[in-house]
Amino acid sequence: MPETRFTKDHEWVRLEGGIATIGITDHAQEALGDVVFVELPDPGREIEAGESVAVVESVKAASDVYAPLTGRVVENNQAIVDEPALVNREATTGGWFFRMQPADPAAFAALLDEAAYKALLETE
């Protein structure tokens, strides 16, 4: 059973079989509006937690997507490059951004759980 955690930057992180899949939350896509462009990190790239690694642009603004964990990128989602609107339509499923192998899988547990993320949304 994969577990999903969240960041304060409105990203979701799903850990399954030692690989983390990262995307933006439904709240984030709603706030951004129509997504028209994404730029993703290439597989093989070593990334550090907190580093800006992807870009998502809506008609209104450009936003950074940060690495939630330190590790290595193993895959990115060309489907959202070809069709950015998928990020709006399927933010937490088909609209994922990239997959990574965390250097320290235990760091995943330090991310926000669903209750903590919901609490964060209520303070915004």
Partner 1 sequence: MPDTITSETAAAGPLPPRTVPLDLLHRALGGRMVPFAGWSLPVQYGAGVLAEHLHCRAAAGAALFDVSHMGQASLHGSGAAAALEALVPGDILGLRPGRQRYTVLTNPDGGIIDDLMVAALAPDRLFLVVNASRREVDLPHIAAHLPAGVTLERHDDRVLLALQGPGAAAVMARLGPVAAALPFMGFGAVRIGGTDCLVSRSGYTGEDGFEISAPDAQADHLARLLLEQPEVKPAGLGARDSLRLEAGLCLYGNDIDDRTTPVAAGLAWVIGRRRRDDWGFPGGTVLREQLQHGTDMVRVGIRPDGRAPARAPTAIVGEDGAPAGHITSGGFAPSLNAPVAMGYVRRDLAAPGTRVGLQVRGRSLPACVVPLPFVPHRFAR
For the bound state, the minimum distance from the C-beta of residue 65 to partner 1, rounded and expressed in Å, comes to 12
Q: Does residue 33 belong to the site contacting partner 1 (CB under 8 A)?
A: yes
What element of type H or E holds 23? strand 19-24
Q: Of 36, 74, 79, 103, which lies in the binding site for partner 1, with binding defined by CB under 8 A?
A: 36
Residue closer to partner 1, measured from CB, 1 or 124: 124
Q: Locate 86 and state its tokens.
A: 């998928």
- Choices 8-16, 17-25, 53-61, 107-115; region in contact with partner 1 by CB under 8 A: 53-61
Reading across the β-sheet that carries 62-66, which strands appear in turn?
35-39, 52-58, 62-66
Cα–Cα distance for residue pair 120/35, rounded to 1 Å: 23
What are the start-end ranges of the E strands in 26-123?
Answer: 35-39, 46-47, 52-58, 62-66, 71-76, 98-102
Residue closer to partner 1, measured from CB, 2 or 33: 33
Q: Say if CB 70 and CB 48 are below 8 A apart.
A: yes
Residue closer to partner 1, measured from CB, 39 or 75: 39
Q: Does residue 62 belong to the site contacting partner 1 (CB under 8 A)?
A: yes
- Choices 12-20, 43-51, 52-60, 98-106; region in contact with partner 1 by CB under 8 A: 52-60
Residue ranges in contact with partner 1 by CB under 8 A: 33-34, 36-37, 39, 55, 57-60, 62
